[in-house]
Structure 1
């Protein structure tokens, strides 16, 4: 553990003007506050913040960051408060400490909720000052180094999984590859101990048997480059165990089948020498097509710059080579911290962009599960590059679609997307993008994100925005249905009611507001009798609220058709009155009526499109839905009861899947209109018998 004077000397070595008195106060403060607290290793607890501060001095960070590292656990684990920190060390340090500190009130939350709330606060603080992230990453790295002292295997696994899913990818996204690799290695050891031991043992055997082969290859490369007049440094190493294990998993191969275990790094004087070195290596040894990547002309979002290539060395041995300058190397290993970008206010636009995306995800996510899912999507690696027609570059995860691209450009553009051109050709929205594609988004002001997009989008930003829009739209539709039902209920009351009666009813039913009441009525979360009683207490004593559903024949009329032209409701999307609809007219055939978001419309069918709408008296159609029930006795009967209670006649019922603990059914229901179908879906989703219910 660093002693007080050693820590101060480290800071003064790169920042002679640092406030020595404040650093000394922060060191003494953390020692006093943590007092006799012990870590799982048996060491004094204050040894942890001191070591975190030491990691910050390795990155040559400013005095406020060093003080924050020393104090980052005092508010969480001692009686100190943020006000105390501000009084003793100033508002800037207090703000940084608050950003790193976990919320004390979340200790009683379920595990996922607690992790999500930690992440939510952390991301918001990080967006304001990147130093919060740097301290948090150092904090997590030191905790991982001492993780083996924790006795509980379950706790070790949980911390390791959180590190692998959140903190290692975050380190990668800010270019701190040294931190990322060590976190991955330590987490891998806990999560997959057998695989870790197997790979490390194999690597040890290779080192014993290679007879200095890594050094020999590095020397041969240096000689080849020196012969061409290039002064370079060449170093070689084996890839770390987690990297090898990930390749084994991705390629579905054994350790023996991994041919590129060795990696070499060439450090050049300038960027021009990097390209010269690559050319010399490619002419000296055969390079592997498809393995060359130029991150000099197109750096990664985190500022990473390097040339990557793979060569076939003697005896058919494959080796990876990275070529970069010395400045690039420091940036690549320590990312944002190497640039002091937080201090100079000139963070690369890519950094600002993905931080902004993360904050949008925080705002849009509905619950802890969504937040963790979307954030993992946003910070994982494996990217492709795509361009706007004007040449703006966007990096996206592999498998991204034009919809992902649109949301990456701007959330509003994603929401208004109706089509896309890829390299000048109209293509379906679900088309996966490739490296170098030029993507033009076709938009419409009144367009809205479609639920079907969730079937192919891969970015966390897109999924969060789509889900939020669909939820808001569904809630608004259900609330509107609730208002109509509320009016029907009011008519049956023994007296006319006004706004005061409605406000009183909201209070009696303990609803947040009138909108929440309407939503509860529309979603069948509250029955008519309860609403009537809340509006006019005592009115239901002798009142029969049983309704008789009026029997009506199906009447379908479509506006926008030429007189005498026949039409049919499409079997792919099963439109019902209330849906937004369009017509497809094929030569020599009638018109097929589709919902506006039908997947068939995105397949590029060569037909005429007709703008259609429902006639005023249209009612009655077959609505299709897919319902997933829990596989236990009585759930099918509960579903049938819900259909009966909502006056829906079952036309078809087919079990399409039965995998414990679930069974899935596709159901065709005779419904009046979209509002009727929406209410049935809401009732299903509220049932304990139903795991999932969605319209087909």
Structure 2
């Protein structure tokens, strides 16, 4: 089976890599490690569990190359190498988890679990352009060694795919390597890997440019080295004369860096200022740092003409990230511009490892705690004498354990605090989305507003124009943006609602020709159990408090309630029947753009019924209230809140009764109430809900609330009531 599995070239390469790996790991491997691994892989190949990937890449060769790169570029580590070699067999479940732990131990099992977890990210197809994707990798990886394996594995893949026939795959892998893996390598201090990933990425995505720059550098290498030596020689002589302790480094930029310069400066390679750079590092005390750097500056500029526009003084005022250095560009021999960086050993250490963290200087964003943590990791990588990987086994990647990362359906990625709800996510994307959010779909399943997000969730937000923020939302949102916006909006809505409620009350008092006294009103507010005037007016605006009840309480403050036996006329006659709920979810009304089934309320200020010209108004609580076009409050609503109006029409579906209020005036007569109720009771599909009648000097006036199907039935009822003896006028009350 293995004879068919390997091509002759692959078998030759496999044997060579096995010998090299054996030699590199002789001191760290345990007895029979490689014999056992070879046996397992052989069985996996025979049972088709160690098969090539969809691009034809042989996993055995690839994993051996990855293991060798780990040894060469970082440090040999037994557990990491075994995890690399066995990962594919665990992914296909050829090696069960229980057997993995039993045969190879918890640490190797932990590494492979991390690799398996990270591999699931790619099923999400998230855009690697998202800077959060790097953080999500760190969150899922749990172990820094997993990230290191991924980086080395990617370099092995990049070396393998040169001239691969699948050009799209090569391009995609190269692009991802440049955006994701190179910065990760940089943060870990794996500079050689970072530069090679960037160069190979350019090579595969823009081969002509890469080849042109490479040829140009090869052609000029000898001349460039000679030029650097010529440039440095007089500087050394002058610096030696000053007594400064220093070292000078000359370096050529990577092909990728040169390409970036070419793009930014829109120039050719012969005119790039810093195709190579000279770095002068001075060994001095903290007190003399600036003066010694300026002394070196003086020596260099005495010999070579500086370009003032290219000078960058980060000695006098360091960068906000702590970077300190003096950059100058001088006109050197042969009419060429050369960049010179002057700094002390302390400054160089900070630029490489400390506050500045070299990746910030290069424009790669930093995330606070990650900088410190990554610097510690880099120190271990560079300074540990007893095997850096051994020291990292217990270093957990919990730098983002206080955050969650979630996807949109399109694959965009967002970061939120741990414990964030679905509503937090809606506000995070846009405030308007949060204020109209009614819930969402998480991984395809409907979830409520208070659903707590988990890393890796795919979230789709659902909204409704009828939705509005509520104070109880504060119980489950955790982000400051959401909390502040909810408080602000609710406060504004309450103020608007209270203003509207006050206007409604004042208008009703005026219509009833009742003088409004603030002192008496405060007594009513207190009697009704409201703590503040704002709460009272809010209740009127949202119709949880009936204005008619307020008027009754107000008028009853100075009146003695008569005994029932003393009632001889229509005066104070009260009949109350259970009213139908004025909220409905039926399809009697069509609201907005032909949307049916939305909950609404028929406003009590005008009591619209079927057949009335109506409009919808989104109240402060987000409930749609239906008003008649000739409602007493309509003009005020249209002027102050035009953005909260919504078109509404009757759908044609009958069968529901509506409450309508009639104002009736007539001569006081004991039989008047009986006559009125008799007519109403005889009407088909009409019901009497309540009567409230007052009598004064033989004249009565009162209000009837009747249940009718539509305006036609109501108009017929009005005509019949007007025929009752003693009734002077019947009108529909607004």
Q: TM-score, normalising length from structure 2?
A: 0.47
Q: TM-score, normalising length from structure 1?
A: 0.49
Question: Which structure: larger Rg?
Answer: 2
